[in-house]
Structure formats: C-alpha cells, structure tokens
Amino acid sequence: MTKIYRLGAIGFAHMHINGLLHAFAGLPNVEWVACADTVPAVPSLTTKPSSRRANLRRALEGIGIPKAYEDYREMLAQEQLDIVIFCPENARHGEVAEAIAGVGAHMVTEKPMAASLSGALRMARAARAHGVSLMVNWPTTWDPAVRKMKELIDEGVIGGVWEVKWRNGASMGPLSYSSGEDAYTDLEKGAEWWHQAAAGGGALLDYCCYGACLAHWFLGQPAVAATAFVANLTSHYGDADDNAVIAVRFPAALAILEGTWTTWSVGIPTGPIVYGTRGTLVLKSRPSPAGGRPVPVVEVYTTRGHGLGEPDQVIEGDPLPEGRATLAEEFIHHLETGEPLHPTLDMDRNLEVMAILDAGIRSAASGKVELVNDATWCIG
C-alpha cells in the first residue's frame, strides 16, 4: 500500500514557496493538512503578487490547503504532519526548523539554507537530534545543463578546474517582476523582508548563494577563505544590499560570485563559467528549434584562443532521472529508499555552502579576508 504523506507549510515570505508547494501538489500520495505564516518584524503593506499574503492566498485557493493557522507553533501542536515545507524570512529558518523537527516532521526549505552559519547549524542540529531529513532546494539543481556541466568537469574535459564564475541574470530585484497596478511602490518594497538586512534580505544571500553552491559542488572541496563587498546602490527604501561580490579561495581554485538586483540587461552570458587548464565551459541558453522556451546548453571551448569564437561543442543536458525529476519526487524517493539526496540538496553540504556565504558576510562587515569555517565547525 502506498504511504500517504501528510503535508503542511510554514512561512510565505519567499515567493519560491509557490514552486515548492506546486511540486508536491503534483504527487498522488500527498494530503494537504494545514499552513501558517510567520509574523514579519515589519508589517507588509500589500497583497500584490509575490507578497507574503498573496503567496498564502495562493496556497489556500490554488493548491487547496484546507486550513490556515495564525500561529505556526499551534499548527505543529495540533496537527500530525509527515513533511513540512517552510519558506519564512531567511533569518528565521533556524527557529522554524527547530520547531518542525521537534514534532518529528521531515523538512524542505528553499535556498539559501539560512541567513548565517549559526542559523544553519541550528537547523542541522535539530534535524539530527530528532532523526528527520532536511532538504535545501536549489532551482539550479533541476537544470539538466547544470548537471551536464558537472559531468564534463568530472570527466576532465577541460582539465583541472582553477576558477568558477557566477553572476545572476538580469534582475531588478525579487519584487520587480509585476507591472501596471501590480507594480510595487518603493514604500511597499521597503516593507518587505527582502530589503531588510535583519531579516536576511539582500542580493548576497539571494543570488551569491547559487554561485557558492555550484562552486562547492563543481570543485568538490571545501572553501578556505573569502573577501566580499556589498553595496546598496539604488534600493534606498531598504537597508539590505542590492549588489554583492564574493571572491572565494579554495585549496586549488578560485570562485568569483556576483549577486545583483540592479542589472537591466546582462549584455554577455552570465554562466556559470568554469575555467580549466585545457578549456572553458559556459552555460548558456540557446533558442529552441521548435520556437519554444530557450534551451540551456553547455558550450565547450577546448581550442586555445583569444576571441569569442564558436564553441568546439554544444551539449544539452540529459533528461533527469525518472521518478526523481522534481524536488518533490527526489525528497519522497529519499524518504522511501534511504538513498542520498542529490549532492546540492544535502544538508551537510549546504552547511559548507552556508559557511562560504557567512565568511562573505563577515568580510563585507570587517573589510578583511575572513576564513571559511571548516567541516569540523560545520558538522557542529
């Protein structure tokens, strides 16, 4: 008999909660039980798309979650849950994860793991103490071309890797995608946690995190140290950074991670780009032959040269594994078989990713190179 998983959701601050819930809603063996939001330090001023109230309404009316609690702790005390999906403000991940683990429910959250290494350690210690699984989702994990890039690296196609570069695509911030009557005013943006440093907002955590995850995975080694700069260049309605750069030192490589909320148009491919001793890999989207959505591909450059010539190979990613092609399928597969999650989703690996970001945050504050806390600290 197929097990039916009782699901709940906590925290609607991050609009990626919509994608997480949608993925689980596509499975036949889930039962939605209840949901609850966290209470923001600064009250939201809007119900426009991507706001926490809009995300909550979508969960109730679109996904069909039957009940909403005012207090998530009351929900956890009253309901029997197998899995809880949570997307509160980054700074509250540790608090919420401790409460979920305390009732014995497995957990799924969205990147980044937390707003600090100490917050991530709270999550990991709670999961271990109560014997539950914690998955940190990354949208890049579900891009076949990203997986192909890792495969080509491991095959030695470009020799030994000595640098990974990451910069997000064109973005004017997470609340900039609505238009007309749904467009946010500056006052409304400033009231959302994304633009509040204390809540874990800012471009560093929002976008540099992807580069930290991919660099750690591609290189297969923990980072050593980081230097970072952050700035609020055009988003003065909030106190969080809207641009960030982290330079990361690995034992035998470097990584340059850029996060931006002020880029109107990228101008050039943003990658990720991986440099090796005998070539370069560039992840790039190419027009679909059928005229549909662009197709992510890996451009392989192995001919030595100085210009922007044609790649030596253009390789598409392979189809994702059957039964593990979505974040929801992957998590259920892990629970039912005991097989490890994809490496980028694994809790302990995400502690090392969070350690990179934490060092970057500390460097931006101190103006100094900061050491990345090692595996002994991360395991905690």
pLDDT for position 268: 86
DSSP secondary structure letters along 234-258: S-TTSSS-SEEEEEEEETTEEEEEE
Q: Establish whether domains 5-140+323-346 and 143-320+356-371 are of one fold.
A: no
Helix boundaries (H) for 40-143: 52-57, 72-78, 93-102, 117-130
Whole-number Å distance between alpha carbons of 6 and 79:
9
| Contact between 353 and 209 (Cβ < 8 Å) | yes
Q: Among residues of the chain, what percentage have pLDDT more than 90?
A: 91
pLDDT of residue 309: 79
For the beta sheet containing 370-371, the strands, ordered from the edge strand earlier in sequence to the opposite edge, are 313-316, 295-301, 279-286, 273-276, 161-167, 253-260, 243-250, 225-231, 370-371
- Measured distance CA(300)–CA(84) in Å, rounded: 41
CA nearest to 170, candidates 287, 50, 269, 292: 269
pLDDT above 70: residue 223: yes
- pLDDT reading at 380 higher than 70: no
For 163-191, what is the mean pLDDT?
A: 96
Architecture of domain 5-140+323-346: 3-Layer(aba) Sandwich (3.40)
Q: Average pLDDT, stretch 361-378?
A: 91
79: burial class by Cβ within 10 Å (0-12, 13-18, 19+)? middle
Q: What is the pLDDT of residue 222?
A: 93
Give residue-wise pLDDT tens across range 131-176: 999 999 999 999 999 999 999 999 999 999 999 999 999 999 999 9
Q: Is 289 helix (H, G, I), strand (E, B) or coil?
A: coil
Question: What's the whole-number average pLDDT of the chain?
Answer: 96
Residue 231 confidence (pLDDT): 98
Q: What is the pLDDT of residues 321-339, one digit of tens each?
A: 999 999 999 999 999 999 9
pLDDT digits (tens, 9 = 90+) for 55-114: 999 999 999 999 999 999 999 999 999 999 999 999 999 999 999 999 999 999 999 999
Determine the pLDDT at residue 71: 98
The domains of the chain are located at 5-140+323-346, 143-320+356-371
pLDDT-derived band at 378 (thresholds 50, 70, 90) equals confident
Top-confidence residue, 360 or 306? 360
Over 80: is that where the pLDDT of 121 sits? yes
- Assign domain 143-320+356-371 to its CATH architecture: 2-Layer Sandwich (3.30)
Rounded to 5 degrees, φ, ψ at 214 are -70, -40
Give the Cα separation of 112 and 99 in Å (integer): 19
- Report pLDDT for 379: 66
Name the CA radius of gyration of the chain, rounded.
20
The count of C-alpha atoms lying within 13 angstroms of the C-alpha of 362, restricted to the half-sphere facing its C-beta, is: 17
pLDDT bucket at 287, cuts 50 / 70 / 90: confident
d(CA 126, CA 156): 39
Q: pTM for this structure? A: 0.96
Tens digits of per-residue pLDDT, 18-38? 999 999 999 999 999 999 999
Cα 73 to Cα 32, 76, 79, 163, 190: the distances in Å are 17, 5, 10, 45, 28
Give the per-residue SS3 of 7-35. EEEEEECCCCHHHHHHHHHCCCCEEEEEE
